[in-house]
Structure 1
Amino acid sequence: MDCNNINELPDYLLTQMLSYLPTKDSVRTSVLSKRWERLWLMVPVIDLNVNHFPLNGQAFASFIDKFLEFNASENLSINHKSRLQKFKIKYNEFINYGDRLGELLGTMVDRKVEHLDVEADMMPSIRDFMPHDIYKSKTLVFLKLVRVGLVNPRLVVSLPCLKTMHLENNFYCVDGPLVMENLISDCPVLEDLTFVRTIDRNNVEFLVFLRVRSRSLKRFRYTFANDRGGTDFSVEIDAPRLEFMSFKDNQSDRIVVNNLSSLLTIDMDTKFNVEIGGSPLRLGSFNKRNTIRHFLTSISSVRHMIISKRTMEVLDRYLKLAPLPQFGNLYRLQAAFPNSLLQLLPVFLENFQNLKSLILELSFSTHPVQIKLRYVPHCLSSTLERVEIKGMIIEEETWKTLAGYFLENSAVLKKLILHFKDSVISNHDVDIFKEIRTFTKWSPNCQIIIHYNLIAVQCMTLLL
């Protein structure tokens, strides 16, 4: 369509097009012609950043009042009055509007908004707590609250349509645990939850206990990583329909997970409040060992698992005291291994007897480590088809040991992928290709692929 004919489009198409622009750019179109003067007021998406307004707050207040007045005018149809789909605001304490912010958000909920996104940057105070209207919206499908106050509404939470909720770095009163438990458990169709737990700027714990109970939740991303230490924090998760969980918690001493038999994927980055490099877990550390054992047993049905370096370091210490549970359904494992723990690898892999794909992300200490891998776990001789090893260094002998180990002991291996961190290939380095060709391969059809990091670009340099 000729750009000169854009005015021939109906209002609903033009406003839908404007909804993909930041609101400040949508408003600028009002100068194009008489017809465009009010189109921005009918856009179903409002995305505001108060930093785009003068600091005294008057311009922001005037903008909001004009928008609300227009959308409440009697000459608009009933359908138009309820057409606002998304309201997003980024707010800070330097704009003189804080006393009206709660009222504004309550009004948006009353206007039947479906997508509400609030990000504030203010010191905690009672005026910053969210209005009670938010807890009883009949239309909200998406709710994101960042650095705002959540207070117990002292009424039954009713969010019958809410499917996605993102709560990040918020602050609470003394009843914070009850607020969160009610808010999560009383959303009957909630499927996707992101929760970033924090300690406030004055190091006051607003939420020392978190309980996540949901019969509908399918995806859960949880982060609590202030590294403050201590044993005051705890988290409980009970979600029988959960399929994906990202669990990143360095703070909680008490971790309880139940009813996770539906879990398919877990991204695990936790040290279970065990000090890495400190005294080892001892026989008397029953509570700590029991916490780790119960957590691992509860997630043992997963099919895909990602393990961070610090979690591997804790598991190394745990394995000195007790075995891991069997992960009989796991087919894909991605683990960050320090080279100092590679001796543990065969025993560790014995717990994944049906493993098909393995990704190892290596990290090297300043002191070279000699490893000898003799034990062959069940998955190597029966199921393992793909191995990818990242972070290798040519000068380190480790890569030869690992490559030889998998090639010589993997009966059904189809592909071995080796990633080298080195950025320069010398003539001497080409010798590694000749050396790899001398390795014995139990699986004759296995392809060996080598990648170099050349000028920060991954390049495949050899296919055997």
Structure 2
Amino acid sequence: MCSLPNKFLKFLFLLCVFALGCSFTSLSPCQLPDELLLRILSLLPAKDVVVTMVLSKRWQFLWMYVPKLVYDDSYQDIDYGRFARFVDRSLIMHKAPVLETLHFKLGQLCDGEDIHVWIRAANKCSVRELIIEIDTSFSASPAILPRSLYTESSMLVSLSLNNVILLDVHSSVSFPSLKTLGLLAVKYPCNEFVSSLLSNCHVLEDLCVEQCANDNVNILTVKVPSLKSLALHSSGDRVEDDAQGFVIDAPSLEWLDLVDYMGGFCVIESNMPKIVHAYIDVTYSLLRNILSCITSVQHLDLCLLTSQDAYPVGSIFPCLVYLKICTCETELLNLLMRVLKDSPKLRALKLGQSHGRLAIQTRSYWSEPSSVPECVLTNLETFEWLEYEGTKEEKEVAAYILRTGSCLKKVTIKPKSTSHRKKLEMIKELSFSPRSSPSCRLSFD
């Protein structure tokens, strides 16, 4: 007979049922294989994982082989000293040949020396994924990570750092196996350090960078030939500087997420012929270089400050099938018609407000084009407009798409929250608009 306490037994059993979709409801947790129990234990914080050693002889050593450990120094309000000693002992005792994930959630009292010891222990455990996040809600100072992190972590495949400080290192940075890297609110020694760090990640495929104020990097350079996915975010809490911006050289890129509200710049040094998805949300006054390098894009999400000089005249997006344009800026109508004209295979169009719009902003004048874009006549199947306000220009655009969209199958209009009477007027106006496609279904939400 198994000697598990009833409450814990029931908890584990429920986790089993949840993890396997009730496939083993006829079994008790004691009858489940070790492999499954280890998967279930991976769902628990490390403190609860280690506690299972007292349940029975079978569980005494099982916890040592758990493939994922999450250490949270705020969990159950234990003091930091006890927490640090617990991490030391449990990492030393861990026996799995490979530790798939090691996750630290640390607070304001975390010690750099402790992190140094834990990183060395992680290397001995052949950790594949390392996550270090610092909670600075009670302290303005992020943790300083030891140099050993980026000189001795040869087995890491994934690394995520949040609210930390990286120190300069005289020896070469070495991440020979790293494929995924997340740098969120990280402070660096200088511009050159970031370039050196990335240039030594020879197999890196996924990179996410969220810049923070005073991170010592004005121009973030990403030159990684192997990179497939890139997210670069620079928010409004950074100190404005005309020299701030991004330089990208990633010819293998397939997915791009670029957000920059600082009005800086982005220079793309080589075309990205493999790009499939792109999300561009920037306040740059000059945009030609960005869109002209991603003409192979299939899914495009845009929020631009202006449509003027957005990309060179004559550029074509031959593969674009899905387009979303944010309606928060005044130039959206000009941008919309231009991209429609240059996207002959577009099948889905979506307009919506991703950000709030200032009350003082006014719409630019829109005039119906002399010729209907090819995609509207031959390919456009779905059209969706979120936060539709029913202004004169919006009514004209919506009516134009309905009247010329020969292949439209579904049009969805979601009016912006307003009076019931106003919504009824919007619905009535569009419901009686002529439609080119007899199979077009118009719906309102």
User: What's the TM-score once normalised by structure 2's chain length?
Assistant: 0.81
SS at match of 1:172: coil
Choose which of 128, 131, 135 in structure 1 pairs with 2:144: 128
Structure 2: tracts of 5 or more residues without a match? 1-23
Choose which of 29, 47, 72 in structure 2 pairs with 1:24: 47
Distance 1:208 1:236 in 2: 11
Cα 1:359–1:4 shift into 2, 3 Å: closer
Q: Which sits farther off after the overlay, 344-353 or 431-440?
A: 431-440
Q: What does residue range 28-427 of structure 1 map to in structure 2 within 5 Å?
A: 28-52=51-75, 57-71=80-94, 80-95=95-110, 97-121=111-135, 128-173=144-189, 176-199=190-213, 204-227=214-237, 228-251=239-262, 253-259=264-270, 260-272=272-284, 274=285, 289=286, 292-308=287-303, 311=304, 313-315=305-307, 317-318=308-309, 323=313, 325-338=315-328, 340-341=330-331, 343-344=333-334, 345-361=336-352, 366=359, 373-375=367-369, 376-393=372-389, 396-422=391-417, 425=420
SS at match of 2:59: helix
Distance 1:392 1:366 in 2: 15
Q: Which sits farther off after the overlay, 53-62 or 351-360?
A: 53-62
Choose which of 424, 431, 434 in structure 2 pairs with 1:440: 434
Report deviation, 1:102.
Answer: 1.3
AA at the equivalent of 1:208: N
SS at match of 1:159: coil
Report deviation, 1:153.
Answer: 3.2
Report deviation, 1:113.
Answer: 0.8
Report deviation, 1:210.
Answer: 1.4
Report deviation, 1:181.
Answer: 1.8
SS at match of 2:104: strand
Distance 2:363 2:442 in 1: 25
Alpha carbons 2:147, 2:168 under 8 Å: kept: no
Cα 1:350–1:58 shift into 2, 3 Å: same
Q: Which sits farther off after the overlay, 428-437 or 46-55?
A: 428-437
Cα 1:31–1:318 shift into 2, 3 Å: same
AA at the equivalent of 2:373: P
SS at match of 1:171: coil
Distance 2:299 2:71 in 1: 39
Cα 1:172–1:366 shift into 2, 3 Å: closer
Corresponding pairs, count:
412
AA at the equivalent of 1:442: S
Report deviation, 1:142.
Answer: 1.1
Distance 2:327 2:164 in 1: 38
Distance 2:364 2:85 in 1: 70
Report deviation, 1:435.
Answer: 4.5
Cα 1:380–1:90 shift into 2, 3 Å: same
SS at match of 1:128: strand
Alpha carbons 2:276, 2:299 under 8 Å: kept: yes
Distance 2:104 2:432 in 1: 62
Distance 1:253 1:103 in 2: 40
Alpha carbons 1:416, 1:449 under 8 Å: kept: yes
Alpha carbons 2:258, 2:281 under 8 Å: kept: yes
Aligned residues with identical type, % of pairs: 26
Structure 1: tracts of 5 or more residues without a match? 72-79, 275-288, 452-464
